């Protein structure tokens, strides 16, 4: 329900509720206070980013960069158990490997960090976990396959898990 609908309903209730005798000024004041409270709390997980403006990624988009997955389904793109867990994917410097690029990565969530190597081949990103962490659901040698998109405007990336189909966009930077 939008904030505008909630405010409209609040104003109507304050003016029409049986046994409630408020002046228009008092009802308006309470409605404005409710509006300020709704704006101040931000609505929890009601994240309102502009849509991803995708383009094909380059290694420069991810090398040496960190991407935070928060809001919406958080880290579920990596594993369903990371739903609602803020997850950070960080890449190190790249090395060319033919037409592809190899980069070290770390994946942090739930107080743990897993790491390994990643390969970017066009829009395909493959993560291979080398060092799992007990707080995370990954095993040594586990392979995670994604389609990667870069945002034209704000440095975000969009990931689509090629095995589960789950999609997630990182937070704006």
For residue range 36-92, list pLDDT tens digits in order: 444 433 333 445 667 888 999 999 999 999 999 997 678 999 999 999 999 999 999
Within a domain: residue 47? no
Within a domain: residue 65? yes
pTM tops 0.75: no
pLDDT band (50, 70, 90) for residue 27: low
Mean pLDDT, residues 20-42: 50
- Tell me, yes or no, whether 108 and 148 share the same domain: yes
Chain-centroid distance, C-alpha 37:
24
Of 118, 138, 134, whose CA–CA distance to 126 is shortest?
118
State the average pLDDT for the chain: 81
DSSP-derived secondary structure letter, 71: S
- Tell me, yes or no, whether 84 and 8 share the same domain: no
């Amino acid at each position: 329900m939008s904030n505008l609908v909630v405010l409209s309903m609040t104003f109507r209730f304050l003016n029409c509720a049986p046994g409630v005798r408020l002046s228009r000024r008092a009802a308006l004041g309470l409605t404005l206070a409710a509006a300020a409270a709704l704006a101040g709390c931000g609505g929890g997980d009601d994240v309102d980013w502009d849509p991803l403006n995708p383009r094909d990624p380059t290694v420069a988009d991810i090398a040496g960069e960190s991407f935070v997955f928060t809001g919406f389904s958080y880290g579920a793109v990596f594993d369903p158990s990371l739903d609602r867990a803020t997850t950070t994917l960080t890449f190190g410097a790249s090395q060319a490997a033919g037409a592809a690029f190899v980069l070290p990565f770390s994946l942090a969530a739930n107080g743990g960090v897993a790491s390994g190597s990643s390969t970017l081949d066009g829009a395909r990103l493959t993560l291979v976990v080398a060092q799992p962490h007990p707080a995370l659901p990954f095993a040594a040698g586990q392979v995670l396959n994604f389609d990667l998109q870069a945002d034209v405007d704000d440095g975000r990336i969009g990931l689509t898990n090629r095995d589960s189909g789950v999609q997630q966009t990182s937070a704006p930077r």
